[in-house]
Each structure stands twice: as C-alpha cells, then as structure tokens.
A and B are shown apart, each in its own frame.
Chain A
Amino acid sequence: SYVLTQPPSVSVARGKTATITCGGDDIGSKAVHWYQQMPGQAPIMVIHYDSDRPSGIPERFSGSNSGNTATLTISRVEAGDEADYYCQVWDSDTEHVVFGGRTKLTVL
C-alpha cells in the first residue's frame, strides 16, 4: 500500500516560514491535498491539487510537489496557525484514499 511520511512535529517562530514535508514514492505524479485540523474541530482543506488554495484560505499558505516530496509552506506564521496538518493523495493502484501521519505545528 502507498505510504505518506510526514515529520511528527515542526516548530517555527511567529512571523517566520514553516515548511511541512510529505514524502511518498513518486508523489510528484499524484495530486496532493493538505488539511489543517484545530483541536476539537473537523479538518479543513488548505491546499488542493498540489498548490491551489480553496476560497478563504490566506495567501500565506502555499504548496509544491515534485519527485518524492510534497511541501506545505506557511509564510509569516501566526499563532492561529498552530494545528495538526495532514497531506493526502489518491492511490490509483489500490483505489484508496491515503493520509499522511500528521504533523503538529507549534508556533514559538
């Protein structure tokens, strides 16, 4: 089965740039989506199709995908960005939705 690997935690100072990676075999050939989940809340999509922002998501959120790594970048990080983040793809071989293992973003 297809596996997505995320770092368990990322820490960044307020106002700086946070980078969260998502590793997978030839992930660059897949569409990668990113979700933010605040404590006690349902996930919300912050990036879809590698780098597109859904309506209402700040421009500070951006994404890229190439080779074996997809990346979520959050610029000018705010305290309110502190949350869990998940990457996700569709594995066409197994016809399964696959989520990464979660990255907890801490804002210092």
Chain B
Amino acid sequence: QVQLVQSGAEVKKPGSSVKVSCKGSGDTFSTYALIWVRQAPGQGLEWMGGVIPTFSTAKYAEKFQDRVTITPDKSTNTAYMELSNLRPEDTAIYYCARGTILTGWGSWGQGTLVTVS
C-alpha cells in the first residue's frame, strides 16, 4: 500500500501563503497522478488541482486558478501545494491523493489542517 505523508498543521494570517507537502513512497510521480482535495469544516470534498503525467502542466479548478500552485519534486517523491492570499474561508483540511484519472484515487495522505485566523 502506497503511503502518502503530509506536513503538519499550520496557522496562518489572512493574506499570507501556505505550502503543504505530500511525500510518497515508491514510484509516485512517474506513473501516477497526484491531486489535492480540501474539506472545509462540515463540508464535502473539493478538488483543487493536480499533477497528471498525461499533461505537461498542472491542472487547477477555476476557483483556485489564480491562487494555487502544485509542484512535484520527482527526486524526492514529494508534491507541494501552495495556496496564496489566504482568507478565513480557506480554513480546511487539505488532502493529497494518488491514483489515475481512470481508476480513481486509491491512496490518500492523512490530511493537513490549515487554519486562517
């Protein structure tokens, strides 16, 4: 079973940025896609974007297009999600997940709580 280990909880001020890491084991980025999903308190899952080997660049949801950057580091099997211009409504648990667009997301990180206050 692939393990995805995310960085720890963060507390940020409005207007600042946060960078969350997700370290995978094995051949995480060469064959598989890695996405970021967030979950606001009491809410459902929301796709933010991801790195998919088929495409040359990361794909982002329109809602986050101008504020999020997802970058993989193949040398360390680590992916990063940076969200800028933070607002209180960005308070959420941020998950990374690995899989493919055909077979879904079978491995998930433990989640990183980001609090904006």
Contacts and interface: CB of A to CB of B under 8 A. Distances in A.
B61 interface: yes
A8 to B, nearest CB: 10
B103 interface: yes
A65 interface: no
A102 B45 contact: yes
A47 B105 CA distance: 10
Contact of B104 (A33, A37, A42, A100): A33
7 contacts: A35-B45, A88-B104, A95-B59, A96-B59, A97-B37, A99-B44, A101-B44
Q: Point out which of B37, B45, B104, B109 has the most chain A C-beta atoms below 10 A from its C-beta.
A: B104
A88 B61 CA distance: 15
Chain B interface mostly: strand
Contacts of B35: 97
Interface residues of B, number: 24
Interface in B86-117: 95, 97, 99, 101-106, 108-111
A83 interface: no
Chain A interface mostly: strand
Contacts of B106: 45, 48, 54
Given A86-B44, A96-B47, A45 B55 contact: no
Interface of A: 1, 31, 33, 35, 37, 42-45, 48-49, 54, 84, 86, 88, 90, 95-102
A45 B97 CA distance: 11
Contact of B47 (A33, A48, A97): A97
B45 A99 contact: yes
Contact of B103 (A48, A101, A102): A48
B50 interface: yes
A100 B44 CA distance: 8
Given A42-B110, A44-B108, 20 more contacts: A31-B103, A33-B105, A37-B45, A42-B95, A42-B111, A43-B45, A43-B95, A48-B103, A48-B106, A49-B102, A49-B104, A86-B45, A90-B101, A90-B102, A95-B59, A96-B61, A97-B105, A99-B37, A99-B44, A99-B46
